[in-house]
Amino acid sequence: MKNFRVRLPWVVLTAAVLVAGCSGGTSSSYGNSGSSNPAPSTPTPSPSPAPAPTPPPASGQPPTPTPSGQAYYFSDCQDDAHPDCVPGNNVNPGTDPAAPKRDLAGFNLNGLPAGSQVLFARGGTWTNFSAFVYNLNATASEPIFFDSYSPPWGGSARPRLRAGATFYGFQFGGTYGNTVVDGGYVVRNLKLEGVGAAGSWGVFIGSATRSIFIEHMEITNFAIAIHMQNGSGDGNRGVTIRHNDIALNTSMGILGDALDLVIEGNTFRNNNYVTGSGFEHAIYLGGHGTNGVVRGNVFVDNSVVGGVCTGGNLTVHGQWDGLLIENNLITQAASDGGCYGISINSAYDTAEWFRNLVVRGNTIVNLGNCSICLTSAPGAIVENNVIVNTQNRYHAAILIPDRTPQAGDDLDSGAIVRNNSIYLTQPSAGDAIRLTAGAGSNLQVVSNLIYFGAGASSTHSCFAHPAYANFAAFDNNLCHHAGGNGRWSASYATLANAQAAGFDIDGLSSDPLTVVPSNTNDWSMALAAGSPAIGAAHPTLSATQDKLSVPRTDPDIGAFERQ
Ligand SMILES: [Ca+2]
Ligand SMILES: [Ca+2]
Ligand SMILES: [Ca+2]
């Protein structure tokens, strides 16, 4: 009954997740009153904020250690293994690829010396696979490796490890609540496949576990592909998850937390496809973490049921300090309100914050209520993102705050929203950049490019904003309505009205002449020759590089610097 005992905490965690309220937030009822503009007030002199350079990456990309120890070979030929598959025999020592062992039965994984390699034959298939890995010999520089090898009979496909009745494929680091530091571990080049069981996990990382690399895996048909528990005290540190294909897991792709977490270059496809629950997401970071990176991942059709996304994509709650979310691509064909893009919001009863947060260079297409939705993220930098929405629905491309913080949660202030390019063809309502009173003070909104299509209804605005005094800078934005309707902001009908109140003195309202973003041009909103946005961005407060990492000279409005 060991497994049953281990599973209980997951029930507790799930309960915590379910009260989190991930899918709260902006209703779809927002609209402009259409009332007359307030009388222009004397503009408050804008302070001169110091330029905030684009921060360097929050974390390096740790190299994967090189194998140094004894290799053990395994070959099994269940189910749909390669037709020429030759099974091994567990009486073999397993140190010769020509005479492998068959499976892990009787093999003492946790007695292996540091640096040992456990290698599975390409083209082979195992059933009822599970590996409990808690090896106190392993070190960060000499981890235990789980990898593939090319067998003499010619198999080439990733070794297929089909999980059985146990709830995990790999469990690293001890059982739930373990406090003994162990690791490192490397698991790569394998196909890890569940049987669709509720509560099943492809990889579980218990607490106090270090230096874990999960690379070039395919992880599919579990409830959760990768589940981490940072725990209290000495948590998980150094978890690198990169270049994996995480698809068709019934609940989530990644759930949990770690210190020094890197999630990079993965593809998340069609996870949370059974219920599309608003509490389940392709990536759900909860708990607490420092120095996290979510970079260059592709999210396709997650949380979709019946062709419509109803749940989350990349969601963060809890306490995070130093989180960099950059160059990710999130696309949906169609979304309802509960389908969030990058949602970083307080949502628990406990104190929450998202400090030193950077959200940059992401591309987000056809999400629901909001594409980038932040709460309790003081000083957040949101730059060089491209947000496209062609749906006829309410949408806020960038929303701060998304909800009202609760007791103990950080209050928002000091956000920098700059050089984003936003393309909304037919919203029924909404604002491209929506900052409400809860966004606080000392805000910067500069050099953003906003294009509303001719099909937009009249109840949309480029901005919603608190009083001008709340801004350290609000200037050099471009707000264009191709259909001639809509408003500059909820407060001011036109750019001229806004300028009379001090906003966007160097702003523009003419056609930015961008490329029309589509999936065939990687959702580019590059500037065409003659664009009024060229050289019209804020000279000192713009992002220092553009979305493609081109240094800005005589900065251009939007995410793309004209070459
Ligand atoms: Ca541990
Ligand atoms: Ca809270
Ligand atoms: Ca330029």
Per-residue pLDDT of the chain (563 residues; tens, 9 = 90+): 233 333 333 333 333 333 233 543 333 322 233 333 333 343 443 445 666 655 554 456 788 999 989 999 999 999 999 999 999 999 999 999 999 999 999 999 999 999 999 999 999 999 999 999 999 999 999 999 999 999 999 999 999 999 987 789 999 999 888 899 999 999 999 999 999 888 899 999 998 999 999 999 999 999 999 999 988 777 899 999 999 999 999 999 999 999 999 999 999 999 999 999 999 999 999 999 999 999 999 999 999 999 999 999 999 999 999 999 999 999 999 999 999 999 999 999 999 999 999 999 999 999 999 999 999 999 999 999 999 999 999 999 999 999 999 999 999 999 999 999 999 999 999 999 999 999 999 999 999 999 999 999 999 999 999 999 999 999 999 999 999 999 999 999 999 999 999 999 999 999 999 999 999 999 999 999 999 999 999 999 999 999 999 999 999 999 999 98
CA of 534 to the centre of ligand 3 (A): 6
Break the chain down into helix, strand, coil percent, rounded to 5: 5, 35, 60
CA of 127 to the centre of ligand 1 (A): 27
CA of 111 to the centre of ligand 3 (A): 60
Ligand index nearest the alpha carbon of residue 211: 1
- Residues with Cβ < 8 Å from 11, sequence gap 6 or more? none
Q: What's the CA gap between 105 and 212, in Å, rounded?
A: 24
Whether 342 and 359 have beta carbons less than 8 Å apart is answered as yes
pLDDT recorded at residue 26: 34
pTM of the model: 0.91
pLDDT recorded at residue 231: 80
pLDDT recorded at residue 164: 84
Sequence-ordered strand ranges (E) for 108-151: 117-121, 125-129, 131-133, 144-149
CA of 352 to the centre of ligand 2 (A): 5
- Residues with Cβ < 8 Å from 233, sequence gap 6 or more? 179, 207, 208
CA of 74 to the centre of ligand 1 (A): 26
Question: Which residues place a Cβ less than 5 A from the ion ligand 1?
Answer: 173-174, 178, 182, 208-209
CA of 347 to the centre of ligand 2 (A): 5
Ligand index nearest the alpha carbon of residue 138: 1
CA of 534 to the centre of ligand 1 (A): 54
CA of 136 to the centre of ligand 1 (A): 9
CA of 117 to the centre of ligand 1 (A): 20
CA of 561 to the centre of ligand 3 (A): 6
pLDDT recorded at residue 15: 31
CA of 207 to the centre of ligand 1 (A): 5
Ligand index nearest the alpha carbon of residue 404: 2
CA of 67 to the centre of ligand 3 (A): 47
Q: 558 burial class (0-12, 13-18, 19+ CB within 10 angstroms)? A: buried
Q: What's the CA gap between 479 and 498, in Å, rounded?
A: 12
pLDDT recorded at residue 27: 33
Ligand index nearest the alpha carbon of residue 171: 1
pLDDT recorded at residue 165: 76
